[in-house]
Structure 1
Amino acid sequence: MTAPETADGHNAPLFRATGAAPQGPPPELPPVPPWRRFRGSPPQPEPPDDDEAALRRLGIADAVPQLDQESCDIVNAALMLRRPLLVTGSPGMGKSTLAYLIARELGLGRVLEWNIVSRTVLRDGLYTHDALGRAQAIAAWRADPAAPIRADQELAAERQPPPALGDFITLGALGTALLPHARPRVLLIDELDKSDIDLPNDLLHVLENGSYEIPELVRDAMDSARVHTSDPEGAARVLRGRVECREFPVVVITSNGEREFPAAFRRRCLPLEMPTPTREQLLAMVKSHLGVLPADAADQVDRFVERVNDGGTHSLDQLLNAVQLTSSGTFRADAGGLKLLELLLRDLSKGR
């Protein structure tokens, strides 16, 4: 299915931020720019879906877009140019949710998440090698009583082969996203500003070339290896230790603005400042998560908007928690219940 055309004959933008899954075949992405074409092989099967994770993040799709038009334009530009999105903004305002919006709306399957901490290095996102597990498996194989005690061809044929190196290699979220899929995977690199100062620079080569090597497999005598991936029970065939994408993944990088990134890194990304949701969007989010719009939801949204406008740090989770409690019939937004609501909607920047 191709993108529909607007009245002036141009293709309508693919991404509209409604979170509505495609009806029928997923839409085709715009043509790849010549400088972003990759030729990875062998082709990978379609990725699995994770409807439960998308439902937790997005709820049920609503007709009200969750982003303004300018933000949608930036996302569509990143899709066209096959460039990562660098999403900044206040904590808890839906930066990481953007990856799930894109994945569901374009039918791109399960979102791959790489959560960054201060100790994270590039290899964590690409792959891990269980060297100790492999050493133990080889030792057990050598100690097998059925092993031949001499190099006899007939006995050797009956013996199980040694443990394969690929059995002890698991691709990380970034490494899995760069496999040669027919359609791009969605990769969420969450809170990159928490990383060591070197990680953004280390990412430059991978983001530019859409490929990486696994040195352990490069040195191995076998031309190909079957490795594990970040998808549940997923596996992939790697040729000569090198992975190259076929379609560059949709990369959503989030940052809470705790530090600046190098210019060379920012040059490879499209910046998106996540706007604070409007009152209409907040009401739509509440309805999408709860299924219905409770009677007092508007009051809770107004209370939340007032606190956001007053400054400080607030999260959309706080609003959903407040509406859930008051709509359950157990707590009321007065007397003792009002004190509890004040606790739920507190300024998170104050530490308690």
Structure 2
Amino acid sequence: MSAPDTVNGEGWRIFHATGSSPDGVPPRLPSAPPWRQFRGEPPQSQPPDDDEAAIRRLGSADDVPQLDQDGIDVVNAALILRRPLLVTGSPGIGKSSLAYLISRELGLGRVLEWNIVSRTTLRDGLYSHDAMGRAQAIAGWRANLLPGVAAVGRDGTGGEQPPPALGDFITLGALGTALLPYDRPRVLLVDELDKSDIDLPNDLLHVLENGSYDVPELIRAAADTARVHTADPGGLAEIWQGRVECREFPIVVITSNGEREFPAAFRRRCLPLEMRPPTREQLLGMVVSHFGVLPQGAEPLVDEFVSRIQSGGTHALDQLLNAIQLTATGTFRTDTKGRTLVEKLLRDLSKGR
């Protein structure tokens, strides 16, 4: 698909927010704009899928779009321009699930999650270095070199054992892993950035603009290459000369509950997406995706949920799923006592209890 083909008529959209591609084959992304092209080396193998995580978040694939048309257009613009999405909306509306929806529909493998707290720093997202563990390993290695102590090779046979490799003690974080040179972009979820220290959004600017970062410990090492751990379970990656640069800029979904404003320089690098409450049709589609069928008694609960949202309350989607799960058991009675429990499940979260 060439760049001009992606902007004419309706065919410019790659993502349709259904969780599955129309023909069952993941679509090919158009080429990145010249100012968003990178040349990281060496290329990394694509990560495995994480179907279980996607099912927990989304249920099975469904044909009902889980965003309105304006939201779908913003996501497609971010995909084409290779810019992060800054997703805002009330808690529990499905902001973080958007990353899983994009990954599953585009066939991009396991979503990398970076959950932000007030103490999170940029380095937490890029990599960690277990300096203490390496010091202990080096001490043990040196002890094996003392006179009278037989050196044992890695294969268990006699012979000189090499010193512990520096890369064995470096683990890339979610952001650092997402910026590895993959041929297809990784999906990175930066969850609740508004909870971070005030400096973190500004610290992210260089990385989001340049698609690269350095690992100083590896730059100072004598070796030209290092094999390090990644944020994927059991994952390993090779780094050249202590520098990581992407080949395809990752699809970055940054969520915020609106607890504070971000600097203008940070917002300039992102495309804003305000998620609106789902429609009745979308909610029914989500229920079917999670339950496989529409359980008996689910429609009245969906209607009540929609009514509560329209009245100005704050409600999370998992509240609705919990209420349907409880009432769909067949033995739960929605009489006076049962109704009280349903009320607690569907309570207005803005009231603080």
What TM bracket, shorter-length normalisation?
over 0.9
Distance 2:165 2:299 in 1: 59
Deviation at 1:329, TM superposition (A): 1.2
Matched, 1:161 2:162: yes
CA distance in 1, matches of 2:122, 2:331: 48
Question: Aligned AA for 1:173?
Answer: A
1:308 pairs with 2:309: yes
Query: Within 1, Cα distance between the matches of 2:206 and 2:117?
Result: 21
Q: Residues 1-352 of structure 1 correspond to what in structure 2 (within 5 A)?
A: 11-20=11-20, 23=23, 25-144=25-144, 158-352=159-353
Q: Is the 8 A contact 2:284 2:299 kept in 1?
A: yes
What percent of counterpart residues are identical?
75
SS at 2:11's partner residue? coil
How far apart are the structure 2 equivalents of 1:235 and 1:225? 10
- Contact persistence 2:2–2:31 (CA under 8 A): no
TM-score between the two structures when normalised by the length of structure 2? 0.93
User: 1:147, CA displacement in angstroms?
Assistant: 6.8
C-alpha deviation, 1:21, in angstroms: 5.2
Q: What TM-score does the superposition give when structure 1 sets the normalisation length?
A: 0.94
Q: Contact 2:228–2:239 at 8 Å: present in 1 too?
A: yes
Moved runs in structure 1, 4+ residues, more than 4 A?
21-25, 145-149
Aligned length: 344
Q: Structure 1: how far apart are the matches of 2:246 and 2:330?
A: 52
1:2, 1:27 within 8 Å by CA — same for their partners in 2? no
2:107 maps to a residue whose letter is: G
Q: Which SS does the other structure have where 1:188 is aligned?
A: strand
Moved more, 136-145 or 76-85: 136-145
Q: CA deviation at 1:333?
A: 2.6
**SS of match in other structure, 1:343:** helix
1-structure distance, mates of 2:221, 2:24: 44
In 2, Cα distance between the equivalents of 1:330 and 1:348?
27
Classify the secondary structure of the residue corresponding to 1:38.
Answer: coil
**1:71 & 1:284 partners in 2: Cα distance?**
17
**Contact kept in structure 2, 1:116 and 1:189, CA below 8 Å:** yes
Rounded to whole Å, the distance in 1 between the matches of 2:31 and 2:277 is 32
One-letter code aligned to 1:216: E
**Secondary structure of 1:128's partner?**
strand
Task: Determine the C-alpha separation between the residues in 2 that align with 1:234 and 1:101.
Answer: 23
- Pairwise CA distance, 1:11: 2.7
Alpha-carbon distance between aligned partners in 2 of 1:306 and 1:281, rounded to the nearest angstrom: 15
Is the contact made by 2:21 and 2:27 (CA closer than 8 Å) also made in structure 1?
A: no
